Structure 1
Amino acid sequence: MSGGSLLRLFRSEYFDAHLHMHYLLRMEQSGVQDYLVNELYKMTDDDVDYYLPQLSQVALLRYNKSSLHRFLLDKAAQSMPFALKIHWLVRSIVEDRTPELYENAMAMLNLCEAAMVNSSSSSRKREDEASPGPPQVQRILRSSSDPDLQSNRAPSVEDFDEPEQRGNAPKRRSRTPGPMRSREADGSAHPEDSESHEHGEVRFNPPARQISGESSLDDPAAEPESPSAGILSEAEALRAAAVRHLAALEQAFSPEERAQVLELPASCPNAFQSLGLPIATGHPNEEDGLDDERARECLMKKRRCDYFNTQNQLVSLIMTLSDVLISYADKADRKSALAATLNVINRWLLDRRICMAVAGEGPLFLLGAHIPLWRDLDSLHQILHVHVDMCRIFSSATRAPFVLAYESVNLDEAAETDEAKHVHVSHQTLLHQPATAAVQQSVADRLSRCIVAELHLADLPEGDPSTDSEHLHRLIKQVTPDQWHTFDCTMPKAAATDEPNVEELEGKTLRAEARRRREEATRTRHRIWGESWQEKVDRVKAASPYSHYASWRLTAVMVKGGDDLRQELLASQIIEQFSAIFQEAGLPLWLKATKVLVTSSTNGFLEFIPDSISVDAMKKLFPGKTLAEIFKVAFADRLFEAKKNFIESSAAYSLVVYFLQVKDRHNGNLLLLSSGHVVHIDFGFMLSNSPGGNMGFENSPFKLTQEILDVMDGECSEQYEYFRTLLIRGFLEARKHMERIVLQVRMMLTGSKMPCFREGADFVLSTLQDRFFSNLTEEACIEKVVELIDTSVNNWRAIQYDNYQRLVNGIL
């Protein structure tokens, strides 16, 4: 294609995110590459987040030839969640020590940290110039001494005919990856020169000017040095005294003593050691000189650096806990160790919130901790409390994955005052535009009210909210070190119901037999899935002091220590792509695309699927019963709907299993939801690797054993014909969009150490494309799909693999 034709395509309405990635990978000419990178700034954050693993991989491969890595640095500068995700992805590549990527990944790791601390983004500068904001907005420093953080010019149309010659490659700096640390130093260093990478640390020197209030946090006995110290109002004096007293309380006992009172085993990680004191120093308040742009820039850099470290340390603590749990042979000891560690984390989180409320700091979004798994909760949410009673450890031969259930909220959510209700709060707004005094006071008072409710020290009246902060200050001043040391931080909660919530029967003429089946089905579902997730959410929210926040959420993640989740992430991306293809075609094929967060080459988080149970665990609850028998009893009151859900999800996952050649499909890796849907988990074997040292025992296109057929009422039923029809139609639709699936694999092949690529790029790509039968007519393709179905029905090897898992691992 000519340069003009390419440019018309790039500017057309058909140029979507997939085509953007396709040409970004395919067109390596510098001018075209720069244009496509520049156009990435117009892509939605959702699309960038979706393709982030592929963008990071390609950016490192073309580090000296493309400006793609600079786009990622701009995203890191604009958003802390993006900075963390990019940093973790790049760090996992560093840990692989792949020769062609290692040096580039090390350099990128340095630059990502610098961009995050500086919050320097030329793309934001272009947006600011295009959309001028209020004159009082204070902007964070955009410039950087490192030329690699400066964006390229926007390429012109002529670049498509004569690609520009790129200048010198960016200077490389290598170091050993490790946590960032901020330290204060004497001298009069400028903010522009405040970052340096030495011995694996990001160091940062604030201005020589003393920030009021900072010394009071470091030294409990020190008075805040401020020009206005002598004319403090009564409320300000009360706050300063409470801050000093709180600092003394925090420093009265060592981390070991804090953990001892919560009965933390010595082998378990201690949050007060890993995360440090909950007191955070040097935060910008109005009396600290908000109008001083240079001081605010420095303080916000320190806050971002501290938050970045806290996030990394929290992840490290959680993953260390996962490793420690393996050392406990007894399940009761594992559960006790998990509960004790999470209780210490809860106490640390509470102490941090109290510090926020007492100091009256704002904004608060960089003072907490968060797991950035869901993008819509990334920017401002922070973890409030881990609900230990909802966390559980899963049985595994070599690892101890566990569920982490917690409530989170955006504490910067302003109360509905006349002024605050019109304020749209965002990550960038809070970074660059300090909230007005009224809004900040509203935020502080809401938090103070919740803290007092958590402390169980007093019941606040529904009076003037302006008294809430002062009330908390007085309470804190009255607390003794012993009281502080032994305080129970358990969040109040309502009791769960032991009996199933049988729905009210409609009408008095309902037959007794129908009523009996309905009640038995409700009891059976409760026995299998227990309390529903929505019931848990409602119960926890009703008792939470933070439930009046509109942003309140109860979420759960699966902690996976000792597992490389990059292959799970790739599988999740492809499943999401399949789901989008089926939805666009209007096909009722159902897939669950779970979120995956990679934090290193050996650790990460998975989205927890609520109201689910493995087929293996369900069959163990009803010894001697088949899957079909259990299914009919559990869904006796809505059997048609449940079977429909089972068939539509089974057909969809059969296609995914076939195209990706997913192996290890035993009943421990098949989940059944309370709706009747089936969900496949664990994609450690796919594309070109399989269990047993890649012996390839499972050669069935997908799993279609007799117990699955029985749920569909057998091979002669209408339900089975519906399954076959869905599978054929889904296959034909997927074939039309083959490149959307193949592209995501293609972008990850070079330089990757994922086990699914063990047979090499050519083999993986060619066999994946061959499975779509793209060279056949539609009629011939349908015949091939029918052959795949027939081959899968009661496949001997699939049956024998289930028998092997039952005999060796006890999986029914």
Structure 2
Amino acid sequence: MSNDLCPLQELFAGDELPIEFILSYLHKRNSPGIQAFLVNKLYNTTIQDISFYFPQLLTMAWQREDYGAYSRFFIDIARKNYVLGVKMYWTIQAEMQKQTSKKIENISHDLEKVIVQGHNPLFSQEILCDIKDFNTIKAEYFTEQFKLVHTMVKISMLLIKEALDKDTTLKAYITHLDTWLKDTRFWYSRKNSEYVKHLFRGIVLPLDLNESIEQIVRIPSEEAKCFKTKARVPYKIILETVSIIEKDPISLDDQIIENPPNDYLDNLSVDSDSIIDKESARFEGIEEYANRNFEADKGVYNQVIVIEDIANDPWGERWKETKIRIKQTSPFGLYNSWNAKAYIVKGHDDLRQELLAMQIIKKSKEILDQGNVGVYLRPYDIIIISHNSGIIECVPDAVSLHTIKKYNNSLPQFFITHWGSKFEEAQKNFVESMAGYSLMCYILNLKDRHNGNILLDSDGHIVHIDFGFFLTNSPGKLNMESAPFKFTREMIELMGGYGGEMFNYFKILFYQGFLVLRKYAGELTLLIEMMLPGDNLPCFYDPNRAAKEFKARFCLDLSDEQCLRCVEDLIKVAAENWRTQQYDMFQWITNDILY
């Protein structure tokens, strides 16, 4: 073992090593001594890097016979950063609900202990010294964090049973939740400790890992909105936050609370353990559809499209305006650090696969930005709550192409009509985002690309969402969408047609982006390989093939000149692909999604 370690000690000399370099050796070298040496090197990486790669680190930890080095590292990180500690704990809890490993149970127990008993205050102030029982306060705060986030998820599950006006019911639930948040603040304001009063002013959730820790202080119920799906009821929620270190600029309304806050929603029963199969409702009949008369269906589609008034703005009130409006009526609007952010809460949905796809997209964006490739990608944050629930950051000022189709069935005509003199700018944004997301669709082998899963923002960028099918799984396991990415006739027309300047610009961007990503194929593939065998992730339906084919899509055996021909072939196959059209038709027939 020592003979193996000596060359590594020379190789890993120095403190500022890229985390990907350390992880690649952690993945390959299983010796306990080498594992401990390499895990020790992780202490010199950033909190942001540890947070990003934590799913992979956890997977490796429970696969190793001697996991002690990992466990100690996770505990030390939780001591150092309370917010990341909570995020790690939730991720481990999600894994425990699917894995029966004693290792994971031990790591979870140790992590919870240090979160509750560790001497790391959420903010350092002299008022900390007035706490008589620091551990009790931390334990109570940890409990309140759990209550808030699991109640948010529970609401999504309860709404499934609501047959009539889901939005009205949602607003009533959120009103109760906001009242509970306010009553919790008032209940703890009775304490003599200024630290406790300040701490319980709001609840911290691991939504961001910025230097400034944000407290959730208000949840305006009138902003909540349900989304329509066949199997679940995700909903949009806006969370008002202030920095935990900012002192109160005003005296908040005092209210006497004689009893602990009433957790009204806790009394409502719901099946909180199940995961609704993505295929059970949405893809029923997909095999039968494959044998339908496509042209006949297309004729019917063209007869039923209802176009809404183009004078209406599909994006409605812009997010910047929404924030101003909410701030003006908020009791926390006078705080300098006041902010608001929109999230989608999902129950009965395992988001760990979605998180993996987003890791690939985030890492790709980082690589492409460093390479100065002018493509557009808009990653978003995903927080795992449990094995069947989570929170997703909303993409602001963006609606689905399905919604756009209600205003004009021709995407090029919509761009011309809506943007007018700014058409060329919007067109350029569209092309740059098409290049970025076409690359992502190709390397991820991303499926289920109907117009409900592609957004268009108010600047003309497209943004892909919902990564339920990629790598080796596809709707119905039929691989109906065999094209490398979605590239319809109207997308091509919006670029000016096959001979248009913008079409050529798209091809150049795709090629440039592909060459840059190829240089980092090892880092991107490592994200996949470290998650193997991926027992609980449907994208690893065939795990060995998933990793092998992911790497193969970078065409590492080809020269740059040969890659140009490869890219041209990919674009040629994707353009107006018949199977892409057929899948759009299927989604219209079964789910009323316009195309």
Structure 2 length-normalised TM: 0.86
Q: Secondary structure at the match of 2:217?
A: strand
- The answer on whether the counterparts of 2:67 and 2:103 sit within 8 Å (CA) in structure 1 is no
The code of the aligned residue for 2:347 comes to G
User: Partners of 2:456 and 2:5 in 1: how far apart?
Assistant: 52
The alignment-based identity, stated in percent, is 33
The code of the aligned residue for 1:559 comes to V
- The answer on whether the counterparts of 2:411 and 2:494 sit within 8 Å (CA) in structure 1 is yes
Match of 1:236 in 2: none
The unaligned stretches of length 5 or more in structure 1 are 125-133, 139-283, 291-295, 415-442, 453-471, 486-522
Distance 1:610 1:757, change over 3 A: same
- The answer on whether the counterparts of 2:167 and 2:224 sit within 8 Å (CA) in structure 1 is no
1:595 and 2:427 correspond: no
1:37 to 35, 39, 49: 39
- The answer on whether the counterparts of 1:574 and 1:741 sit within 8 Å (CA) in structure 2 is yes
Q: Which runs of structure 2 are paired with 1:82-97 in the superposition (5 Å)?
A: 82-97=84-99
CA-based RMSD of the aligned residues comes to 2.6
- TM-aligned CA deviation for residue 36 of structure 1: 1.9
The code of the aligned residue for 1:788 comes to L
1:585 and 2:355 correspond: no
Match of 1:361 in 2: 193
Q: Secondary structure at the match of 1:374?
A: coil
- TM-aligned CA deviation for residue 63 of structure 1: 5.5
1:383 to 196, 206, 216: 216
1:104 and 2:106 correspond: no
Instruction: Compare relative contact order (CA 8 Å, sep 6+) and give the higher one, 1 or 2.
Output: 2
Q: Which runs of structure 2 are paired with 1:293-692 in the superposition (5 Å)?
A: 296=132, 299-330=133-164, 333-359=165-191, 361-363=193-195, 364-365=198-199, 368-376=202-210, 380-414=213-247, 443=248, 446=249, 449-452=250-253, 472=254, 476=255, 527-622=313-408, 625-692=409-476
User: Partners of 1:737 and 1:797 in 2: how far apart?
Assistant: 31
Q: Secondary structure at the match of 1:748?
A: coil
Match of 1:736 in 2: 519
Distance 1:753 1:395, change over 3 A: same
User: Partners of 1:59 and 1:95 in 2: how far apart?
Assistant: 17
Q: Secondary structure at the match of 1:621?
A: coil
- The answer on whether the counterparts of 1:628 and 1:707 sit within 8 Å (CA) in structure 2 is yes
- TM-aligned CA deviation for residue 723 of structure 1: 0.3
- The answer on whether the counterparts of 2:239 and 2:342 sit within 8 Å (CA) in structure 1 is yes
1:757 and 2:540 correspond: yes
User: Partners of 2:392 and 2:23 in 1: how far apart?
Assistant: 25
- The answer on whether the counterparts of 2:430 and 2:460 sit within 8 Å (CA) in structure 1 is yes
- TM-aligned CA deviation for residue 551 of structure 1: 1.9
User: Partners of 2:215 and 2:90 in 1: how far apart?
Assistant: 19
Match of 2:284 in 1: none
Q: Secondary structure at the match of 1:646?
A: helix
- TM-aligned CA deviation for residue 681 of structure 1: 0.4
User: Partners of 2:359 and 2:235 in 1: how far apart?
Assistant: 23
- The answer on whether the counterparts of 1:615 and 1:672 sit within 8 Å (CA) in structure 2 is yes
Is the deviation greater in 10-19 or in 742-751? 10-19
The code of the aligned residue for 1:719 comes to M
User: Partners of 1:732 and 1:411 in 2: how far apart?
Assistant: 44
Match of 2:300 in 1: none
The code of the aligned residue for 1:765 comes to A
Could you report, residue by residue, the CA deviation over 1:431-451 in whole angstroms, capped at 9, with x for unpaired residues?
Answer: xxxxxxxxxxxx5xx4xx342
Match of 2:116 in 1: 117
Q: Which runs of structure 2 are paired with 1:169-188 in the superposition (5 Å)?
A: none
Structure possessing the higher radius of gyration over alpha carbons: 1
1:708 and 2:494 correspond: no
- TM-aligned CA deviation for residue 33 of structure 1: 2.0
- TM-aligned CA deviation for residue 85 of structure 1: 1.5
Distance 1:12 1:778, change over 3 A: farther
The code of the aligned residue for 1:97 comes to Q
Q: Which runs of structure 2 are paired with 1:125-274 in the superposition (5 Å)?
A: none
- The answer on whether the counterparts of 1:642 and 1:677 sit within 8 Å (CA) in structure 2 is yes
- TM-aligned CA deviation for residue 47 of structure 1: 0.8
- TM-aligned CA deviation for residue 807 of structure 1: 1.6
- The answer on whether the counterparts of 1:353 and 1:451 sit within 8 Å (CA) in structure 2 is no
User: Partners of 1:647 and 1:695 in 2: how far apart?
Assistant: 30
User: Partners of 2:590 and 2:572 in 1: how far apart?
Assistant: 29
User: Partners of 1:717 and 1:90 in 2: how far apart?
Assistant: 51
Distance 1:360 1:631, change over 3 A: farther
The code of the aligned residue for 1:739 comes to G
Distance 1:580 1:639, change over 3 A: same
User: Partners of 2:203 and 2:358 in 1: how far apart?
Assistant: 25
- TM-aligned CA deviation for residue 352 of structure 1: 2.4
- The answer on whether the counterparts of 1:74 and 1:120 sit within 8 Å (CA) in structure 2 is no
Distance 1:748 1:480, change over 3 A: closer
Is the deviation greater in 110-119 or in 554-563? 110-119
User: Partners of 2:434 and 2:126 in 1: how far apart?
Assistant: 54
User: Partners of 2:210 and 2:103 in 1: how far apart?
Assistant: 31
The code of the aligned residue for 1:783 comes to R
1:46 to 48, 51, 67: 48
- TM-aligned CA deviation for residue 526 of structure 1: 6.1
Match of 2:510 in 1: 727
User: Partners of 1:30 and 1:59 in 2: how far apart?
Assistant: 11
Structure 1 length-normalised TM: 0.63
- TM-aligned CA deviation for residue 543 of structure 1: 3.1
- The answer on whether the counterparts of 1:90 and 1:105 sit within 8 Å (CA) in structure 2 is yes
1:799 and 2:581 correspond: yes
The code of the aligned residue for 1:350 comes to K
Q: Which runs of structure 2 are paired with 1:13-92 in the superposition (5 Å)?
A: 15-62=17-64, 64-92=66-94
- TM-aligned CA deviation for residue 21 of structure 1: 1.4
Could you report, residue by residue, the CA deviation over 1:69-124 in whole angstroms, capped at 9, with x for unpaired residues?
Answer: 210112223333222211211111111136xxx22112222111112122169xx9
Q: Secondary structure at the match of 1:720?
A: helix
User: Partners of 2:230 and 2:528 in 1: how far apart?
Assistant: 30
User: Partners of 2:12 and 2:371 in 1: how far apart?
Assistant: 25
The code of the aligned residue for 1:53 comes to P
The code of the aligned residue for 1:796 comes to W
- TM-aligned CA deviation for residue 740 of structure 1: 1.2
User: Partners of 2:556 and 2:311 in 1: how far apart?
Assistant: 44
- The answer on whether the counterparts of 2:61 and 2:70 sit within 8 Å (CA) in structure 1 is yes
Q: Secondary structure at the match of 1:527?
A: coil
- The answer on whether the counterparts of 1:705 and 1:795 sit within 8 Å (CA) in structure 2 is yes
- The answer on whether the counterparts of 2:224 and 2:238 sit within 8 Å (CA) in structure 1 is yes
User: Partners of 2:228 and 2:192 in 1: how far apart?
Assistant: 45
Match of 1:233 in 2: none
Distance 1:28 1:718, change over 3 A: same
User: Partners of 2:391 and 2:114 in 1: how far apart?
Assistant: 25
Distance 1:480 1:319, change over 3 A: closer
Match of 1:463 in 2: none
The code of the aligned residue for 1:43 comes to T
Match of 1:488 in 2: none
User: Partners of 2:423 and 2:16 in 1: how far apart?
Assistant: 43
Could you report, residue by residue, the CA deviation over 1:359-391 in whole angstroms, capped at 9, with x for unpaired residues?
Answer: 4533223563233222127x6422111122221
Distance 1:801 1:751, change over 3 A: closer
Q: What number of residue pairs does the alignment pair up?
A: 541
- TM-aligned CA deviation for residue 321 of structure 1: 0.9
Match of 2:548 in 1: 766
User: Partners of 1:116 and 1:319 in 2: how far apart?
Assistant: 22
Distance 1:22 1:393, change over 3 A: same
